[in-house]
């Protein structure tokens, strides 16, 4: 199989060498295709790091697509909450805090503040929150 070697110059780094079997496109077009493909690889790396999708729950096209969409919605909701409450937390730290306090009634703006060490007296329960009595 005949191959073609293309060297892609970069401004601030070493050049990239690409091997291709496409003999019809120009070197500039192949470099643009490589750059577009690299953007896809960067997107998948970002998804793995920020959306914590290291393993998929399903293996067909629909299951993978639904899991990625659900993770992106969760990420966007976290970023919107951070922007609304002017939080300066990194995305991963905010996700950890929300995950830890998911079933605790606490304002999003106070997620990063630790609870009081020894509260003097118990605060009265919210009228919207049920209270359990143990016998």
Q: What is the pLDDT of residues 74-116, one digit of tens each?
A: 888 888 988 888 888 887 788 888 888 888 887 887 777 776 6
Which two tokens mark 60? 């067909």
Q: What is the pLDDT of residue 50?
A: 73
Whether the predicted model's global pTM rises above the 0.85 cut = no
- Would you put residue 124 in left (φ > 0), alpha (ψ -120 to 50) or beta? beta
**What stretches of the chain adopt beta strand conformation (E)?**
4-8, 16-20
pLDDT digits (tens, 9 = 90+) for 28-64: 999 999 999 999 898 888 777 777 777 888 889 999 8
Query: Is 135's pLDDT higher than 70?
Result: no
Sequence-ordered list of residues with C-beta below 8 angstroms from that of 89, at least 6 positions apart, any chain: 82, 97, 112
């Amino acid at each position: 199989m005949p191959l073609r070697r293309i060297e892609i110059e970069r401004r601030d780094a070493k050049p990239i060498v690409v091997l291709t079997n496409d003999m019809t496109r120009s070197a500039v077009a192949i470099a643009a295709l490589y750059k577009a493909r690299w953007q896809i690889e960067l997107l998948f790396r970002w998804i793995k790091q920020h959306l914590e999708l290291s393993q998929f729950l399903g293996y067909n096209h629909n299951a993978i697509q639904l899991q990625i969409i659900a993770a992106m919605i969760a990420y966007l909701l976290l970023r919107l909450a951070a922007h609304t409450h002017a939080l300066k937390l990194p995305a991963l730290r905010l996700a950890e805090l929300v995950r830890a306090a998911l079933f605790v009634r606490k304002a999003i703006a106070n997620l990063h503040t630790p609870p009081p060490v020894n509260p003097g007296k118990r605060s009265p329960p919210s009228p919207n929150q049920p209270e359990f009595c143990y016998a």
